[in-house]
Amino acid sequence: MIDPAGPALDALLSWGDVVRRDLPWRRTRDPFAILVAEVMLQQTQVDRVIPRWLRFLERWATPASLAAAGLSDVLVEWSGLGYPRRARNLHLAAGEVVERFAGSLPRDLDALLSLPGVGAYTARAVQVFAFEVDTGVVDTNIARVLARVTGRRLTAREAQALADAAVPPGRSWEHNQTLMDLGATVCRRRPTCEACPIAEWCSWRGDAGESADPAIGSAGASGRQARFEGSDRQLRGRLMAALAVGDVALDDVGRVVALPDDPQRCARVVASLVRDGLVAVVDDGAGGRG
């Protein structure tokens, strides 16, 4: 592991001081802005998120303003980011923040975890990146780094414990951001170990090519994403894009999603969106929720 008082940490943070990415959400400590960023970044590339995050916060800069908005407006604004369930959960979370926490995101872990759509990573990311709590965050990039440094597959509990133990007191923000960037830019699925600032402390690096990658199968480290082309996710996205313009008759769903000869699959797509609370079926047609 990375000793919070050892040379590996010094090497990591020195590297981060030079190459750490300048991302707009890293220039704020506003908990709501950070929550929005973290939700948007779930399975969406950074470059796509940046302009959408800025635009979203121009419309809804506080939990209260988002909670007061119609869900249909939020879903339209979210269009193109994928996984609209995230937008619905963010809208619900904003409402609960207003009702339960007087409009301000809480610092407490359990309180954050109680919000719709906020899981272990997102809750700790808000704690660290907004409140600079001395705890570790474990996203897919950090999980990959931790598994390789230790040289073995990790359970979720082990990965979190290692991440927590590696945090230098009072420097959680820069430590976690740097470790995240290391996984995103160097310790990738196909790593460039020669560019890694902590390569000499990495248990797997000296064995690279000789033993199985311990990141594969470790909790939190992503595998290959399921194919998008032709998936139900793609069909859901097409229908949601059409609903952003206006209601869609059920008989027209096949045409809208470019699948006119599979009414059963179209019905399944509509049912999944209804189940997620993203659309409603009224008078034999599908409409956006608001």
Distance between CA atoms of residues 20 and 16, nearest Å = 5
Distance between CA atoms of residues 43 and 257, nearest Å = 22
Find tokens 């064995």 and name the residue: 207
pTM confidence score: 0.81
| Alpha-carbon distances, residue 24 vs 34, 131, 225, 233 (angstroms) | 10, 17, 27, 29
State residue 290's pLDDT score.
40
Q: Which CATH number fits domain 232-288: 3.30.450, 2.60.120, 1.10.238, 1.10.10?
A: 1.10.10
- Amino acid letter, 2: I
Angle at 39 between CA 168 and CA 59, to 5 degrees: 120
- Please list the active-site residues: 38
pLDDT in tens, the chain (290 residues): 687 778 999 999 999 999 999 999 999 999 999 999 999 999 889 999 999 999 999 999 999 999 999 999 999 999 889 889 999 999 999 999 999 999 999 999 999 999 999 999 999 999 999 999 999 999 999 999 999 999 999 999 999 999 999 999 999 999 999 999 999 999 998 999 999 999 999 999 856 556 789 999 888 665 444 566 777 777 777 777 777 777 888 787 888 767 777 777 877 878 777 887 777 777 655 555 44
State residue 108's pLDDT score.
98
Whether 140 and 183 have beta carbons less than 8 Å apart is answered as yes
State residue 22's pLDDT score.
96
All CATH 1.10.340.30 domain ranges of the chain, comma separated, are: 30-131
Q: Which two tokens stand for residue 259?
A: 């699948």
Task: Kindly indicate whether the domain formed by 30-131 is annotated with CATH number 1.10.340.30.
Answer: yes
